[in-house]
Chains A and B, each alone.
Chain A
């Protein structure tokens, strides 16, 4: 009983101390090693001009020849998301690992649903990027978002057949160490570019964006570098507040191919396959803010393919 009483005497102030110190410990916890990330969902939309993208739709007056197009495919990889505060500070977004659409720091946005003319794709679609950011206890007002189109170099040249989803889609990689198709936007074009071949399987207007001029390390037998990375850096920053919950990031196909004659192939590979000498790629790279010669973000061209709505 004497011992129990002594223990009780000791326990009371210790408990009080513990209770009193709890908020301080929690405060340290937040600011030091462990983040309490806040969730954010960034929603994308695909459009052709003012019209929403749909695999069953037909879009008129697209490109330099005012062509009529029907979607075949509409998918692209994105990574390296940063929310931009009104003071210009960038806050990185860590992507949720969902085992399907997002892996590592990469997400696949998939607008085709394998219906209508979109025969090559997959039925499920994904129009969001989900992740967390950590501003500690600060309340931050956002003015926009930045991200890159494509797959980071370290993930771009692995074995796609054993990669985690969404990096395991054979329709989105060149199967021999060339890397992924960062962006695959294919359209059937009425009356042109193979759209009326006897088999009805014309290639149409193809846009396959990916790294080029890649070289192999003779020792490791792995890709050591790519002369043209071709990863667009997209900056969408407003003079007003950006609300990720209500605003969408829109990729406008019509803006992307503005100035490209979709009714005929001007030479080189079919459509734009990211080659430096591919005539169709010039305007498209400009609209993505890329320098076609170097594959790096252009010093002069500002991307116009994406915007906020």
Chain B
């Protein structure tokens, strides 16, 4: 401290500064201990490979139980959010995050300070529980759904609690999706699926083109899991035959049925 500065600070102020410095020094180990001993829950949602008959990377040719056949060439699903749902009815303890962007807080200055204080005194895990409005970012889910290897969909940081469900919010983008193919008109489309199907081996192949605009929460049951400061991987497995095996693609409700069947075809493993 320079002489000029020292001369400019009253004795009372100096006493107050010294006291604050001492207090701050004494708090540092305490805060560090809180953060180290209560690390945040990190839940990584991984989509396992879609299992197609034949094992080719290209979409498969499915012969269904009733003899009808489906050949899917491409599919598109737009998703806006992913969250874990707490077990207690009506208790949504999930945190909606943007893909690749964890613990995102979109709030005003006062809320940011409040969040910082909660983090400082309650540990990093609780800092992620903000209860914010879902951060909508539309992305193509189909690429992840159909990737041959496991693909990380999203990383969540929920607060401690017991969780029973994973929810992937499928929703139509209002404009051009960030990663949507440029010539696929997907504004207002939550699900697009193109291919061919036929009623049986002797029936003619006809064009399959499904477009759905409704939002739909794909809800996958979890083995009840209690999170209290650990890392967890939720791997979602699915089989194309289970998904597309019984959908009537000639129906006007084929889009909704496809979303519901996707939900029913998913199985979760924790590791």
Residues of A within 8 A of B (CB): 122, 159-162, 165, 168-171, 173-179, 192-197, 199, 201-203, 206, 208, 210, 212-216, 218, 221, 223, 265, 267-271, 273, 275
Whether the Cβ atoms of B207 and A201 lie closer than 8 Å is yes
Determine the main DSSP class of A at the interface with B. Answer: loop
Whether the Cβ atoms of A218 and B149 lie closer than 8 Å is yes
Cα–Cα, bound, A218→B204 (Å): 39
Whether the Cβ atoms of A221 and B74 lie closer than 8 Å is no
Cα–Cα, bound, A265→B201 (Å): 9
Q: With A194-B198, A212-B58 in contact, is A170–B149 under 8 Å at CB?
A: no
Whether the Cβ atoms of A216 and B204 lie closer than 8 Å is no
Chain B 176-190 residues near chain A, CB threshold 8 A: 179-184
Residues of B within 8 A of A (CB): 50, 56-59, 61, 71, 73-76, 140, 142-143, 145-151, 179-184, 196, 198, 201, 204-207, 209
Cα–Cα, bound, A193→B71 (Å): 15
Cα–Cα, bound, A198→B175 (Å): 34
Whether the Cβ atoms of A203 and B204 lie closer than 8 Å is yes
Whether the Cβ atoms of B143 and A175 lie closer than 8 Å is yes
Whether the Cβ atoms of A162 and B179 lie closer than 8 Å is yes
Whether the Cβ atoms of A177 and B57 lie closer than 8 Å is yes
Nearest CB on A from B13, distance (A): 58
Residues of B within 8 A of A168 (CB): 181-183
- Which chain A residue shows the least CB distance to B52? A176
Q: Could you give 11 example pairs across A and B, Cβ below 8 Å?
A: A159-B143, A161-B181, A174-B58, A176-B145, A176-B147, A201-B209, A202-B207, A203-B207, A206-B205, A265-B205, A273-B71
Residues of B within 8 A of A267 (CB): 201
Whether the Cβ atoms of A216 and B148 lie closer than 8 Å is yes
Whether the Cβ atoms of A175 and B74 lie closer than 8 Å is yes
Whether the Cβ atoms of B147 and A161 lie closer than 8 Å is no
* Residue of A208, A212, A265, A271 ringed by the most chain B CB atoms within 10 A: A265
Whether the Cβ atoms of B149 and A192 lie closer than 8 Å is no
- Which chain B residue shows the least CB distance to A219? B149
Nearest CB on A from B255, distance (A): 16
Cα–Cα, bound, A216→B55 (Å): 11
Whether the Cβ atoms of A221 and B183 lie closer than 8 Å is no
Whether the Cβ atoms of B179 and A161 lie closer than 8 Å is yes
- Which chain B residue shows the least CB distance to A216? B148
Whether the Cβ atoms of A169 and B205 lie closer than 8 Å is no
Q: Which of A174, A199, A221, A275 is B147 in contact with, Cβ under 8 Å? A: A221
Cα–Cα, bound, A269→B196 (Å): 9
Residues of B within 8 A of A206 (CB): 196, 205
Cα–Cα, bound, A203→B209 (Å): 11
Q: With A216-B149, A270-B71 in contact, is A194–B204 under 8 Å at CB?
A: yes
Nearest CB on B from A171, distance (A): 7
Whether the Cβ atoms of A194 and B206 lie closer than 8 Å is yes
* Residue of B50, B56, B182, B184 ringed by the most chain A CB atoms within 10 A: B56
Nearest CB on A from B209, distance (A): 8
Q: Which of B151, B179, B182, B196 is A159 in contact with, Cβ under 8 Å? A: B179
Nearest CB on A from B45, distance (A): 16
* Residue of A194, A223, A275 ringed by the most chain B CB atoms within 10 A: A194
Whether the Cβ atoms of A175 and B76 lie closer than 8 Å is yes
Whether the Cβ atoms of B61 and A269 lie closer than 8 Å is yes
Q: Which of A170, A178, A192, A197 is B56 in contact with, Cβ under 8 Å? A: A178
Cα–Cα, bound, A206→B204 (Å): 12
Whether the Cβ atoms of A203 and B182 lie closer than 8 Å is no
Whether the Cβ atoms of A202 and B147 lie closer than 8 Å is no
* Residue of B182, B183, B207 ringed by the most chain A CB atoms within 10 A: B207
Residues of B within 8 A of A216 (CB): 57, 147-149
Nearest CB on A from B113, distance (A): 38
Residues of B within 8 A of A271 (CB): 205
Cα–Cα, bound, A199→B244 (Å): 21
Cα–Cα, bound, A223→B56 (Å): 12
- Which chain A residue shows the least CB distance to B186? A170
Cα–Cα, bound, A216→B58 (Å): 12
